[in-house]
Structure formats: structure tokens, C-alpha cells
Structure 1
């Protein structure tokens, strides 16, 4: 029977691992049965490597009338182009694949007529791939990627591999052309050139072909006083662009700004500024000519695949993206992938290009086609928003990482302090051994650990107004001071309170603040140091794993502390045996006989209120319009279910043997999974208006796309292994576990004593430990969630120990 239950539990756990994604959809296959009629439309995509929002500031746009007009009329957004190497080659490959991908510096595109060591590139690609054997010939003006196999091998784990966008465009009859490059110089032989020809990787098909393109010397001209002695031949680019075909997409790369920043070290500041202004004015003039030549059936996208080094140093990593048509009247780009006005993903851009031609977006692509919302002064608002995001990104290493180190130091020092005090008290010759020096200071430091998350969250309301008024640097200083002062003040107040009272305030206070913020748009979490960061791109909405761990741990602690306070602090309520060691802490109270007083201590109203809070928070985590955290909702179901069973289900469930414990955990996971399914199904009212990544994962699974499950599990395991090695949060988790182990094992028998003396505390600790394990297993970055959750076990245990030392004097 136990084996059967364990098998069921493992099966459900495996299914949950497959379904709970952080911020990514599950890839699915092409639906070959869908073939809508493609629009007869021409789309121009202008790529400007090196462009950032720093070039779109009002003082810069004064001298760029056409670009200024475009920012006023277009739908404008800020696109996340973060890749592993932050280079445009990765971005182009990712746009072509519809998913994050990697490029290879040596894998570039060439015109078919070009040669290397006397061999035409059309012959070279045939040698490598054999893809031209059945064709008559390759068109001389085609563009191809001879080393496509190397690129495919580097991205073999992708759902569709490289070239997804180009393959779909080709399948639906959309003509693809690429004009321009960012080559560093103009020399006689292909071997001598410093090539930067990555833009065709965006539109190539799965064989590495683009229908037409001009990348080499025909689109650049020799200008001796320009970077690398060359400049874009704008007249030739315009002539080639005017020959575009309808029902086609033309990608134009303007490389002068990129070349200028690549050669920046050779110029003084004055000369560099002069050249930059000249480069931008030439681009502006060309854009004005292109806009004047557009018809009603055409649209134009402008974006940057790589921001310049100056913007990168300022952490302004988001790339400007504009969409213009002749009937544009100014708007902001909106993405359901991010749910933040103006912030979009590169994958959304890929899906939007497919939508331009009425090509169905395959269910496995992560991006959602962009929409627009009419709004005035969009660019200024986006620049302010990016400043706030820059501040958060830059503040993390200055505030969050030192705080993580501070957490570890406080836990270790408080443990050592307790051991030292115990040794002094045990010395019969020490007349002052019973004194507790620095007790209040140590307790205050411990209280600061569960206080800090709430302070960090509330600080999010200050970021936007402060950044607008005093800038990024000033805001960072003010927030650091506010954090330190507020955390210490609250900790001092909590230290003066009764322990159970302080834990009630900190536990329920954290939970209430996080739930209210998450239910009202998560404004504070968007700008919290402990929240999510659009610059990183791991999560854009809902409740992130950091605060998910805080929410679960704090609510369990607050409820069990309230029950312990109601029952009587330190009043024995259990009689009978118990198991020493850490195992009972993980799986329950051990075999004990509950006294009648324990059952009577919890009124039906209190039980109903606590269970209602547990259900409400679980629903908030699961709802697509609120928490949208699948792993978090399942972890909450486990932690809250164990806490509820211990506190309210009677004597039978307080004794969780292996079989009964496995059955309970399986039931809780199944209930959590069912809630996720109901809240994220297409027919659910909560998912009707806004579908999350969790809902898309369920739909893909329901459609029978199982081929990506193995990759999903592998990615989740790889992410946790990486975080275990690299993340500071893993060190917090390990430190907390060591401290807790010492507390329950020295002296032997303390756990049994605490089970008698603090039953509800122990129920909360047990539930939070199991919840931390669930969070670790059910989330991509489970290390982070487990580390923030475990603080609400380690700190109360330390405080209980110090309280015992105090009462023993």
C-alpha cells in the first residue's frame, strides 16, 4: 500500500514539474492544417545597432525632425533584448527562432555571388548541407548562411530550431530580403574584411537562405574621415528599398552608429559627439525619405538589436521599438507577455511580424502579438519608466546582495551567541553567568530579517516619484537610507513585544501587504528591490519567487503564532513520547497523544478564518490575473494544507506517518493542480480576459504536445543546479538549515520539549519546512523561494531559544 501511495505521489510530482513554468510557455508543434490567406503587404524592418533611449531624449531629437515625428506618431515600446552575451548576433537568431537562442561569432551571412578562396558561397553551403542538389541553381542575389549547421547544433534544444520566422514567411509566400550590414571596413577580399553580417539570421529559413539581399560593398561607401573609413550608402539603400516587392518583408540594417561606437576609443569626446550627431542626422534624413515613400498597405518597424556601450554602462538595456503606418496617431505598445505598458519582449516582436501577414502564430512560440493603446507623450513616459527600471537593476548588487550576506551573518552570530550564553550559564563558578549581555541587540537583529521584505516592498512606491525628481543616483542613496532606518525602527518595536505578538504582526503583516499589492496591480512589487526586474526578463507580472516564499512562510507563521498565543505561550499541551532529531520537524510531530485542551483551544471561527486565509492566498497565487505563479500556488497548497491538517484536523492527522503523509501530500498537490487548471482554463472567468503563461502551458498540454516535457524538466533542473552553485540565496538556505539543525540537536531532546511546550509553533515550522521543499522542487528558481521561506522558520526558532535562555536565568 505504501509503495502504491509513493508511486502516485511521484507521478503527480512529475506532472507538476512539467506544468509549473516561471515565465515561459511550453513549446508546441506547428499546426500544418491552418493556412490563412496572407495579406498582400510590404513590411519594412529597420534595424539600428547601437540605438538606445539615450539617443531619443528630447535634447537629441531637436536635431532629428523625422525621427522625432516618428516617435510622436508611431506606437512606441521598450523591448527586452537580453541574451546570454548581450550581442546583436544572439538577438537576430532569437528573433528568427521566436525563442531565446545563441549566435556564433563566426556564423555570418553572405551574398550567394560572393566567394571565399575562389569558391562561391552557394557552392560552399551545398558542400556543407547538400540542400541545393535538387535545385537548378541558387539565385545570384540570394543571401545564405553557409555554416547553418553549426548554428543549428548550438540551438538544438529549441522547439523549432533556428529559422522559424523565415520558414513560416517562406511557407506562406512572403518574399524576404535583407539590405545593409555593419561591416567594419571595405577591403578587396572577403577574408580581409571584419564582417558583421548577422541581420539575415533573423529572416533566414531552416536551410539558411534568404530570398534576396545586398550586404557587401554595394551598400557602403569609402569615406576616409568616418569610423573604419566607410559609411552607409544611403542613396543606394533607398534605391534598393524602392524595388521591394509587395507581400514581402525587407530588413534594412543601418550600421554607422554601431561602427562609431566600436571605434570610440580612438576619438576624443568632442570629435565623437560631432560624428555621432552627423551619423544620426543622416539616418534621420533617410528615415524621412522612406516614410514619404510608404503606401497605405505598408508598415515600418524600427528597433535596435544591441544598445551602445554608453547605454550598457548605465544599465539602460531595453531597446527602443517603433511601429509606424500611414494612419498612425501615436500609441504605446502593449504586450500580454509582460502586462506592463510599453515593455515588450523580443518574442512578441517575432509573433507581431507573423501577424502583419495574417500568418497564424504556432502555439509553441512564446511571444504574443503586440497591441496598441492610444496615449500622449509616450516617449517621455517610457524614458521615465526605464530610469526607474535602471535604478532597480543597479540597486540590486548594492542593497540586496549585502542584505543576503547580512542574513547569513545574523543567523550565525545569533547561534554562536546562544551557545556562548548557555556555556556561561552552565559554569557554576561564573557569578555573572546568568546575565544576558547584548540580548536586546541580538533579538533586534533577528527581528530585522522577517521585517525587511515588507519594507523592501513598500519602498517600491517611492521609486517612480524619487527617480523623476532626484535621478537614479539620488534615489539609490535615499532608498538605502530608508531601508536601513525603517527596518531597524520596526525591529526595535518588535523586540519590545511579546514573542508571539511580534510574530503575529510580522507574519500576518507581510502576508497582508504582499496580497494587497498583488491584488491591486502589483505596483510596489514592480519597483521593489526584492521584486522582479524587466531588465533581466525572468518575470514581468504576478508574484515573483522571492515574495512567493515570503508570502507562504509569513502566513503560516502568523497563523500558528496566533494559535499558540490563544492556546498559551509555553503552556504544555501534549503529553506522550516523541522522536528526537530533524525528521519529526519535517514530517510531523511524531507519535503523540493530544490532550483534550489542545482541541478545545482552537474555536471553529478561528479555524474557519485561518483556512479561509490559506485558500484566498492560494487562489491569488494561482489566478492568471493576480499571482500567476504555478509553482507558488502548488507550494502554498502543500504548506497550507499541512499546517491546516496539523492545527485543525484533529489528533489523527497530527501523527503523519510515511503512508499517511504521502497520501496527504498527494491529495494537496492534486487539489492545487485542479485549482490551477480551473483558474487557467479557457472557460474560466479569471482567464477569459487575460491568459498567463501558466494557462498557455495547460492548453499546450491539453493539445497533446508532450515532446517538450523532457526539455522542460531538464531546463528546470539545470536552472536550480546553476542557482545552487551561483546564487547567494543558496547560501542563505544552507545557513538556515545548519542553524536549525544545531538548535534541535543541541541539546538532545529539545525538539521533544518544544513539541510539548510550543505545539502550534512546531506545526508552523513543520508546514514551512515542507513548503520550502515543495517550492524548491516545483519552481525554476526554487532555491530563491525556499531561501526566503525558510527565514520564517530559522528566525522564530532562534528567538524561541533566546527566550528559553532568558527564562532560565
Structure 2
């Protein structure tokens, strides 16, 4: 195990260089001013933003706050669904063929009148999950005397695209603005036949600011979208597309600098500028760069990196945070049922002691690391799961059909390789930046194989499995208590780009933690039983107390708001660990002892719930608040989402195939054992039933975590590998390996 610990120290040093997203002390919030301009730039990616920012003067960069925004919606990730998610603060799905607003003399696919007809005929179509109509943001701002205005469009030669006005429409589907050609100029030799008229845009903004005391102006700069639609369809025009993009970014940069300098010269006017996009470019999407740029500027704010309580990751915010942040900007209350939280400054240039260009360069490097992980995740996880499924079937077949077990040592070492591999998923991730995914997966298995081989030759079968389970448990707990620095960038960790999970204990490692802890406790109990110590009442009582504390530590780590905050894993662990203690040590249940234990459990649960309600925003806290308010609809949505997600994953995911394969192998092996002539010996070994009780407990844990967790099949699959592989491993005891005879039973 010294090899594993030394490797962990080295990996921790490597990982620390990429721990940019670690939790830091919250900084100053974004400053508000009477006038807010939101520059909506469809088809904008982070590579474009990096080029654009590199040319900005240092005095402007030092007041920029930046983050990547997720684009998760209730349906597919596209600009329509993302716009409705941004404007409602909930994961939404817009109507098909949505295309903005109707202007006199224009024919649009989905005009306002059609929208009203749909609203009257099918009211559910245009309502969010809590029955708040689309247009909530615009209606709320209008009721609080905030003047809203939309400018610009993303029209092309063949299609009209009106995105900006969607954000500020009211409940009637109406919005003020000039979304025709007001800020455009004809350009017959450029993409889409139109381009932004920067002088006219400045004039329109001045008009809005002069006429109204408090304003929100959405400016849709659709030039990048027009370029992409015109040229990105064919490889031969890619270079021409890039030339137009660079030209436009330069024009936009010049206009931005001039506008900022003009605002700074006018001492009596305060304006804040936000930059965002409802959809990244096709090029960014193809490269796995699925975070939309979100940028703010105000002359009085500190430059830095943004975050929110939704993600708890520096530099990453959620699209559902947009509405709460916009309402908070104008001093308006945030709806209690909004999914997001207010975006705030997390790390500043002053804290880092760097200039803007150097500071933001490290942020872009960290984003690039995140994009590489996302781009290669599917390949690595697919290969990893296919190898596990193949090894599971191959080892079971080898045990079933082989009469001589000369190669069983290799089989056992390979099983150990699979069980050790989750640790290296935590440690080796930074190396993906210097080696490709296939080399990375080879390195993963080689590292795990060497560890398994060395450990196999140092200890007995019993301690081989026990130490692997204990090491997995302790490493995961260590990472949780230090802020999940390894897990948040692990291929088996959570995925912030698609908004699946941003912090805490991911479902993959929740299952690994549950399964490995049960394997470790079972192994220790079997060893103590063999030594005859469990027959001593005092030793048995001390062991039960020690394991109870160990289990409570894991449960707290799973549930605490600043640690795991995984409700499904917590529920599964409570039930599974209780069953483990009762049946592993044959505890007698009586009301004398059951009542205080039940009271202690209730007290602990109450304490954890209080932490979630009083502390930071968490999913558990949201669920508890819904239960307190009798919000059956929200609770129903959560439960429905869990069922739908699990059923979909079972049908199409490799995790579902691993789970079902493991169950089938377990059934076949158990059936063969009962038909084996040596069944009598197996029955004698099973009377001790320590191992079998531990394995049955793992089945309970896997089934429970499957039912109570969204993506529960993932957690169930990682739990059950610590059941199926050790179960097969123990078919090959070392005496039978040396003699070449059939294995008599459990080691």
C-alpha cells in the first residue's frame, strides 16, 4: 500500500496545479447601475472571447468579470431551449419553430399571434414547471418600472432569427424594440447580406439611456451567427469563415473600447455591460467546449472570476442563475422556486496579485483542461466499461468451464486491477492533457495492474480484498473532506459542462464508496472471526462500536452540505449499513436498544437537514423546502426525473449493461455452486456466512441506490462491481491454484 500512498502524494501535487476551481472566499458582488446592456452574441465560443479579450487595454480588462455558463435545458441543448431556460430560471423547453416576434410587413414562422393561439388552446405548452408563464422576467421588470428594449437580430439570407426579444417578452408575448434592420447596414458581399452598424447601435443606446432612468437593453449581435450559417457548412470555406470571424471580432473590440471610453468620459452616467450567448459556435460544440461565455464589465467593479452557489465551482455558473442574477441586479426578490442562485465574484485580480491578461490566461487554461476532459470522457468511460464487462464474463466462464486452475493467479490479479482502478481515475486525470485517451486508459490499467500484482504477492486473499476496499474508502473520504479536488476533474466524477452535478459526491464514486466500505468491513469481520475474537462478547461489542462510527463518518460525508450532499447515497447508506450491522454481527433487536438507536438516527437526520436549510444552496435543501411547503408538484418532478433518467440509462447506457451483466453472472455462479458435488463443503463454509452476508448487503445497497438516486443505475453498477468481482475472486483460493484442483469454496 506504500506504493499507492506515494502515488497519491504525487497525483495530489499534479492535481493541485489544476485545482483552479477550488472553493475560495467569496468576493464582492457585481456592481449595479441604472442601465444594463446585455450583448447577446449567438455562435460565440471561448476561443473567440480569448482573442477578443487579448486586444483589450489593461484598464478595461481589470474590470471584467468572467465565467463559463452551462447550457442544460429540459430538452436538447439548442438556442431556443436555452433562451427559455435563461428567461424562466428553470430548465425549460421552448416550442418548436420558435422564431421571435412579428414585425409589420414581415412573415415569421412563429409570430406573436400564433403564440397567443397556442397559449389559449394548450396553456401547458407555454408554462414553466411551477405554472409560471413564459415571459415572467419581462413581466416582472415591467411591473417594477424597468424599461426593457431589444435591438438587432440574427437574420440570414434564407431565415429570420430573432433571439434577443425572447428574454424580455412579457406574459402576453410582447416586447419593445427594433429587431429589424435598425442597427444593421446592407452588406451584399458579406454573410447574410447584413452586418452590424456600430455607429447606429451607439446612437440607439444613447437614445434609450436618455429617455429612461432604469433600463435593460438586449442587443443581439448576430454577425457571427450569419457567418457560421453561410460558411461553416463546407470545409473549403472554413478559412474564409475564419477570416470574417477575425474581422468581426476586431470591429466588435474597437466598438467596445470606444463605448467604454465614452462612458468613462461621461461622469453622470453609469452603465453596466454583460456579454452572453444562447448558443456556442458549431466549432466550439464539435470540440466539446459546451460552456457559453458570460462576461460583465463595470468601471467600478473588480476584475475576476465568477461563480454561484448552484455550481460552487470558480469560473462555472449555470444558465438558471441568469434570471436570479438579473432580478438581484435591479434589487428585486428572487422567486423561491427558481432553480438558480445569484452569480457573484469568487476570485479577483487583486487576490491573485496579477494583471488582467495573465490572470485570465490561467482561467482559459483551466477551461481548456475542462474541455479536454469532456471531449475524451465518452471514449475513456466506454473502453473502461467494456473492459470490465468482458473481464466479468471471461472470469466467470473460466471458473465455470476450466478443470485446471493454473492461470487463476492472473485472473485474481486482473480482478484486483479492476477494484483498484477507481483510485487512479482520481489521480491520473491531469495527464490527459499530454497523452491521448487511448494511452491514458492503457496507463490507468497498467498502474492498477502493478498495484494489484504487488499487493497480491504481499498479503493473503482475505487482506488483498480488504485492503483494496479500505484504500478506496479512505482515498474518497480524504478527497471529499478537502473539497473534492480530485473528484471534480475525474472522468468518473461529475460533469459541469452538461450540468449533471457540480459539487459533492458524484454517483459513480457514491457507489464505489458504498461498495468498497462494505467490502472492507466484511473482510475485517471475517478475519476477526477466523481468529476467534468475535466469540468474545467484549471484543465484538467494541468492533460494532468502531464500525458504527466508521459508517456514521461515511454517512455524514455523503450528506453534509459542504461535503457529499448526495441524498440518494445517504438514504442507501443508512439502510445498507444498518442491515450490515444487524446481520453481519447477528445483533439481537430489542426495543430496549432499538429505541435509543432510532432516536439517535432521527437526531442525526434532523441535524443534517438543518445544515442544508441554513447553509449553502444544495439539492437536499431544495427537496426539504419543497416538502415543508407541501409542494407536491416539485417533489413529483424530482421523483419523475429520477425514474425517467434511470430507465433511459438502463436501456441505452453501458453502465446499465454492466449492472445487468453483473447480476446475471452472480446468478449463474450461485446456480453452479449449488449443483457442484462439493456443495456440502460450500454449505459448511456458508454457515459461517460472513462473506455471503456482506455480499447480500451489497445487493441491498445497489438496489436501494438504484431506486432513490437519479442516474442511480450508475451508482448501482459501481457498487455491484465490489460484489461480483470479489465473489468470483474467492472461488479461486490459493491452495487450489497451486494444486490445480477445483476450488472448494470461499477463501
Q: TM-score if structure 1 supplies the norm length?
A: 0.79
Alignment of 1:458-497 (within 5 A): 458-460=427-429, 463=430, 466=431, 472=433, 474=435, 476=437, 479-496=440-457, 497=459
Change (3 A) 1:441 1:357: same
Q: Give the one of 178, 188, 195 matched to 1:231.
A: 195
SS at match of 1:543: coil
Summarize deviations over 1:453-490 as a string: whole Å, max 9, x none.
11111224xx1xx57xxxx3636466334312111112
Change (3 A) 1:763 1:236: same
Say yes or no: does 1:717 pair with 2:643.
yes
Change (3 A) 1:127 1:393: closer
The residue that corresponds to 1:194 in the other structure is 159
User: Displacement of 1:763 after TM fit?
Assistant: 2.1
Change (3 A) 1:551 1:122: closer
Say yes or no: does 1:631 pair with 2:568.
yes
Q: Is the 8 A contact 1:755 1:762 kept in 2?
A: no
User: Using the alignment, how far apart are the partners of 1:106 and 1:439 within structure 2?
Assistant: 61
User: Displacement of 1:175 after TM fit?
Assistant: 2.0
Alignment of 1:295-314 (within 5 A): 297-314=270-287
User: Could you say which structure has the greater relative contact order, defined with CA pairs below 8 angstroms and 6 or more residues apart?
Assistant: 1
User: Using the alignment, how far apart are the partners of 2:172 and 2:282 within structure 1?
Assistant: 33
Q: Is the 8 A contact 1:178 1:250 kept in 2?
A: yes
Change (3 A) 1:767 1:124: closer
Q: Is the 8 A contact 1:564 1:759 kept in 2?
A: no
The residue that corresponds to 1:93 in the other structure is 84
Change (3 A) 1:121 1:402: closer
In structure 1, the gaps of 5 or more residues are: 1-38, 131-148, 186-192, 425-434, 574-595, 654-659
Q: Is the 8 A contact 2:395 2:728 kept in 1?
A: yes
Which deviates the most, 226-235 or 259-268? 259-268
Say yes or no: does 1:703 pair with 2:629.
yes
The residue that corresponds to 2:13 in the other structure is none
Say yes or no: does 1:402 pair with 2:401.
no
Q: Give the one of 768, 777, 784 matched to 2:698.
A: 768
The residue that corresponds to 2:27 in the other structure is none
The residue that corresponds to 1:582 in the other structure is none
Q: Is the 8 A contact 1:108 1:196 kept in 2?
A: yes
User: Displacement of 1:366 after TM fit?
Assistant: 0.8
Q: Is the 8 A contact 2:118 2:125 kept in 1?
A: no
Q: Is the 8 A contact 2:112 2:173 kept in 1?
A: no
The residue that corresponds to 1:736 in the other structure is 662
User: Using the alignment, how far apart are the partners of 2:168 and 2:297 within structure 1?
Assistant: 20
Q: Is the 8 A contact 1:101 1:155 kept in 2?
A: no
User: Displacement of 1:703 after TM fit?
Assistant: 3.1
Change (3 A) 1:516 1:687: farther
User: Displacement of 1:311 after TM fit?
Assistant: 1.4
Aligned length: 684
User: Using the alignment, how far apart are the partners of 2:221 and 2:123 within structure 1?
Assistant: 24
Q: Is the 8 A contact 2:623 2:635 kept in 1?
A: no
The residue that corresponds to 1:786 in the other structure is 716
Q: TM-score if structure 2 supplies the norm length?
A: 0.85
SS at match of 2:410: helix
Say yes or no: does 1:75 pair with 2:4.
no
Q: Is the 8 A contact 2:99 2:110 kept in 1?
A: no
Q: Is the 8 A contact 1:112 1:120 kept in 2?
A: no
The residue that corresponds to 1:612 in the other structure is 549
Q: Give the one of 42, 63, 75 matched to 1:49.
A: 42
Alignment of 1:264-343 (within 5 A): 264=231, 265=233, 268-294=237-263, 297-343=270-316
SS at match of 1:384: helix
Q: Give the one of 577, 584, 593 matched to 1:647.
A: 584
Q: Give the one of 121, 132, 140 matched to 1:168.
A: 140
Q: Is the 8 A contact 1:65 1:284 kept in 2?
A: yes
Say yes or no: does 1:560 pair with 2:551.
no
Change (3 A) 1:292 1:111: farther
The residue that corresponds to 2:479 in the other structure is 517
Alignment of 1:412-561 (within 5 A): 412-421=393-402, 424=403, 435-460=404-429, 463=430, 466=431, 472=433, 474=435, 476=437, 479-496=440-457, 497-561=459-523
Q: Is the 8 A contact 1:337 1:344 kept in 2?
A: yes
SS at match of 2:505: coil
User: Using the alignment, how far apart are the partners of 1:785 and 1:349 within structure 2?
Assistant: 31
User: Displacement of 1:184 after TM fit?
Assistant: 0.5
User: Using the alignment, how far apart are the partners of 1:676 and 1:55 within structure 2?
Assistant: 48
User: Using the alignment, how far apart are the partners of 1:172 and 1:711 within structure 2?
Assistant: 31
User: Displacement of 1:688 after TM fit?
Assistant: 4.8
Q: Give the one of 551, 559, 564 matched to 1:622.
A: 559
Q: Is the 8 A contact 1:113 1:120 kept in 2?
A: no
Q: Is the 8 A contact 2:119 2:126 kept in 1?
A: no
Summarize deviations over 1:704-745 as a string: whole Å, max 9, x none.
333322222222111111111111111111111111111222
Which deviates the most, 97-106 or 498-507? 97-106
User: Using the alignment, how far apart are the partners of 2:712 and 2:559 within structure 1?
Assistant: 17
